[in-house]
Amino acid sequence: MHGIDKRTGKVLWRESVGTVVHNTPIVGMTMDGKLAVSHGRGGPHGPLEKPYGQSLTSLAPGHEGTTLWSTPLEPYDPSFASHWNKKYVFGFRNGHHIVLDADSGKLLREQPLYTGATVCKFNPQDGKWIKQTNVAVKAGKGL
């Protein structure tokens, strides 16, 4: 990731940990109100940016491009938008939704996506909703 002067095209800064092309970095505000960007590295195609994982990089004036934290997560395929807020950074790994602490990058929890799901299905024949718990679902295949 690079910071480029929009008037001159001059590169003002470069971050040091890398970002894979399939990841969409997201800009937000840290707990102390400073601009930063969440971004990831990794993927099934063996990208050059290593170690695979998630990072938060400062965009605060005078600290642009400084890595605030970088958390290794192997294996990791960050082919998603790196959503975050001042408390948490969110991602996906090995069929799990992951949550990291936005201040430290510490992995707080992993929740399975395909097992133990609660599913609500509408039955058009009787017009009622059916709630099923602890359901196993297949990725991209529905129920």
Domains and CATH numbers, the chain: 2-112 (2.40.128), 113-143 (no CATH)
CB-based contact 58:115 (threshold 8 Å): no
Q: Residues of the chain whose pLDDT is less than 50?
A: none
- pLDDT, position 22: 87
Residue corresponding to tokens 């408390």: 87
CB-based contact 132:121 (threshold 8 Å): yes
- pLDDT, position 60: 97
- pLDDT, position 142: 54
pTM beyond 0.85, yes or no:
no
Output the furthest CA–CA distance in the chain (Å, rounded): 65
